[in-house]
Amino acid sequence: MSLLLDNQFKELPPDKSIDTKLFLETVAHLPTFFDCLGSKVFSPIKSDISGNITKIRGIYLKDPTKYVTLQSILEAEREAHAAEWPKVGATLALMWLKRGLRFIQIMLQSLADGEKDENNPNLIKVNVTKAYEQALKKYHGWMVQKLFSAALNAAPYRSNFLKSLSKGEEVKEDVCLANVRQFLVNYTITVDAIYEMYTDMNAELDYTV
C-alpha cells in the first residue's frame, strides 16, 4: 500500500471547519514523509514539523471540548494573549506547520503533474524548488535559504522517492502517481482551509527566520 493512502485526510464539512483531533491524528504521520527523502540532512526539518504538531497537541489536550476545531484554538488564544497574538502558542505552531504542509502539497502536485527537468528527468530538484519558492522562501532569511539550497543536493532520485512512498514495493510509476493524486484531493482542501482561516482571522505574519 501507499504511505500516503494509509494516512488520508478526511473530507471537510461544508463550513470547512477542521476537527482538531482528526487533524492531529492525520498529520502525525506526515513527518515520516521526510524519511522518504532518504537523508539525515532533512532531520532538522522533520523535527521542526514534529515540534509544531507536539505544540498544537499539547494545547488541545488541555481542554479537548473547548478546542474541538482548529479555529476554536485560534479564537481562544486571540482572547487570552491579545498582546502577543498571533505570535504565540498553537496559533504560531500551526502558522509554520501549514507552510510545511503547503510545501509537501506543491511538491507532490508538481510530481503528479509530471513537471520535470528534461535534461535530468530522474531528479526532483525542479519539484522541490518550486515548492520551496512558493511555500517557504519568503519566510527565510539569507542564511536559511543557503541551508536549503545545500539540502537540495541531498534530494533523492525521483524513482527512489516514488518507491519509498510505496513503502519500498515495486509499484508502477503511474500507479504511484495516481495514489499521490488521490491523496492530494482532501489534503489540498484541508491546507487551503487553514490558509483561508489565517487570512480571515488576520493571523498571518511574514517575519523571516
Which spans of this chain sit near ligand EIS (rule: CB under 6 A)? 41, 44-45, 48-49, 51-52, 55, 92-93, 96, 99-100, 103, 128, 136, 144, 147-148, 150-152, 209
Nearer to ligand EIS by Cβ, of 47 and 159: the residue is 47
Question: Minimal distance in Å, beta carbon 205 to ligand EIS?
Answer: 9
Other beta carbons within 10 angstroms of residue 127's beta carbon come to 23
* C-alpha span between 175 and 162 (Å, rounded): 10
End-to-end CA distance of the chain, in Å?
Answer: 38
* C-alpha span between 131 and 110 (Å, rounded): 8
Question: Minimal distance in Å, beta carbon 127 to ligand EIS?
Answer: 10
Q: Which residue is nearest to ligand EIS (CB)?
A: 93
- The conformation of residue 125, written as its DSSP 8-state character, comes to H
* C-alpha span between 81 and 185 (Å, rounded): 35
Nearer to ligand EIS by Cβ, of 44 and 168: the residue is 44
Nearer to ligand EIS by Cβ, of 56 and 176: the residue is 56
* C-alpha span between 11 and 185 (Å, rounded): 9
Question: Minimal distance in Å, beta carbon 92 to ligand EIS?
Answer: 4
Nearer to ligand EIS by Cβ, of 37 and 176: the residue is 37
